[in-house]
Structure 1
Amino acid sequence: ATVLSIPRDTMTKVPACSDTESGKSTPGYYGQINSALQYGPACQVATVHRLTGIPIDHFVKLDFSGVVKMSDAVGGVSVCVSDDVYDTYSHLKLSKGSHTLKGEAALEFVRSRHGFGDGSDLGRTVSQHIFLSAMIRKFKSAGTLTDPSAVYKLADAATKALTVDDGLGTVRKLIGLATDVNKVPAQRITFATMQTAPDPADHDRVVAGPGAASLFAAIADDRSLTAGSGKKPATASASASATAAAVPASRIAVTVENGTGITGRASAVAGALTGRGFSSATSTGNAPRPAATTTLTYGTGHRPEALTVAKALGLPASHLRQGTGTGLTLVIGGDWPSGAGYPGGSSVSAAGPAPKTSDAKTAVGGAHASTADQAKTCAQVSPYKTVKLDGVTMTPAQAYAAARGKPDSAD
């Protein structure tokens, strides 16, 4: 099992969305990934799919009150912090060491971004993974997920704390999900955070980093990110699935857009496509805005054509996006500054074999990966001056010392 966190500060394309409940809609825009939720959960799902290429079958939304309800339902979650910490923004205040968090204290912990790591959303994803790992270990050690009565109570609490899609909207379905999770050993549950790079337009925001494509592809291909799972984790198709229906290259026209700022990139790739037998109707142009990552967007019903193009260029499956148009649009991003084949892939004929990705170790490189069995891992308190107390900027540990009169979040 794999848990992937995408920092909320990630800048990406939000597709055209319409929320039937609120009536809000958008023609699509480039913005912060979590902003898509204002157009409904389905829009958030579509945005994540567009960024990652990972198929998403169900969604669960857990809001702030839900965190409180779920932490109480399991009797509290034990976590460890590396130093005294007081995040004056989330109000988390804990002394160095281990604590059992329930209710508001649990919420303060999972919300804290100024207390851990470098004080950004990246540090928060790591501490959230520590919290979720501890919750999973508690389930397993207490036999919660094998006790029908306990699972029923937990699932019943979940239906009151979560927003879920129709496919998961019953106690019975959630019990089935708990049963599936219980089958996975803690050491085979991997937590990872999407690799990032600074957004060229705003250094307070991030974009998917160069290593993200490998991680997305591994998840999309349903490959284990831990060794010893009983399956070979080493390689799988980096391009599209070989089971997809083949479409002759001569029938496929592609609009190639240059998002690199490097003159001639669209023409070079378009020329490579027509040279490999793709339609002479293939055209070029400039992307509407600079793109850090190369994407191939296809309209409804045109995935087979997109797979054929991806295979010819050595483009990983994680770079494919479903759009609302009718054709294929290939935007050449900054991750592909030269050459006719995608870096790391193998340019092959449209009928040739798909290139291979590297192993699981490469996929999680730079992703702050951990597994749910790592019980001794503590959330690393930020050593930087990330918080303010009485108008003075200081480290979370300094804030803890200066706020002796404020009670801790957990006893």
Structure 2
Amino acid sequence: MRRIHPAWIVAAVTFIALIGAAGFRATPSVLLQPLHDEFGWSLGTISAAVSVNLLLYGLTAPFAAALMDRFGIRRVAMAALLLVSAGSFLTLWMEHSWQLILCWGVLVGLGTGSLALGFVATITGRWFVKHRGLVTGVLTAGGATGNLIFLPVLSRIAVSDGWRTAALTVSVAALLVVPLIAWRLRDHPADLGVTALGSTEEIARPAKPVGGAARNALRGLRDAARTRAFWLLAGGFAICGATTNGLVGTHFIPAAHDHGMPQTTAAGLLALVGLFDIAGTIASGWLTDRVDSRILLGGYYFLRGLSLLVLPSILAATAHPGMLVFILFYGLDWVATVPPTVTLCREYFGAAGPIVFGWVFASHQFGAAAAATAAGLVRDQLGTYTAAWYGAGALAILASILSLMLFAGKRLRPIAPGIGLAVPAQSLPAHSLPAQG
């Protein structure tokens, strides 16, 4: 019987952790109305905790990747789940809104941020050479899977048994994953005396980086920010966040309601986006192993831009065939950008790729936050979202152009060996390039 490579077991455990992290992060949306009803807090006050959660979810990623380099993936993942469990559990006794911000905003934000896409980049970078893009797509799809599994269940629990039971369920679920992480997740193939899947060379356990994790994360940002590739990737991914979580994820339901569509119907359509998202992300991972990632990103962003430009003309009171086609297409494209972006960070920045991707992902969250606010202001001032859809469509086409501009910097030379960063060869002075043998 053929032995299963340990990389697949590590990927399976990672997928379970990511499903939980996505569900835990999205839980506050289920608790908004119950908390408002019990404590009388405004939805704006409660939403502040969600905003803190979202920002920390993005900002934590590069520091978590650096911590994984220093202390190991397993320890950081276990600590992240304990933070999520503690944050959810402590809400059972809260009496003031600042306690909600501390628990769900800070503790759960830090915990889920440590299990975000930087975690995916670290796992796939260490354990996979063959099928790396496909596995990245599957693990990224864990986020959408977590929402589909947890949100309906927790919503039902909150309605039938109260929000405290829902919060307790999250706390217990996070704790249950910790023993699985301790048992089956390993930091590096060398721990088990094997090579990464698809690698033909022995890979020694990497030396611990010099300096603290925060310093290494900031050093990764400093060195990456000197390169053209980083700004093109970060700019494109910021637009990605703006056109998905920030705009469609936040404003599609009220925009559809403006056209007479019942809120429940619009919410159902948005849920379908998450369902198609799973298939699209896995397919994108498969394509990333076979097609240049720059071409994929250029195509994804361009098609997304066209769909957003069409959306104002198809919004209506009913879910007609044209709207269903948009939902299908947009769902397939939603986070299809993640596998090629992770791959390009690894290609341009070498071993520091996961840390750099963490910063690129942070730009995604900032783009989402900015678009969520901007679209709301557009609606308040103009009485319609039309200008927001057109603006987002133009931005997505700009992201396509930025992605294709990466073709100008494909060749790399390593620098900063302490963190394994690499930059395009043409950006280095001649005396800094190593001699060719």
When normalised by structure 2's length, the TM-score is 0.24
Bigger share in strand: 1
Considering fraction of residues, name the structure with more helix: 2
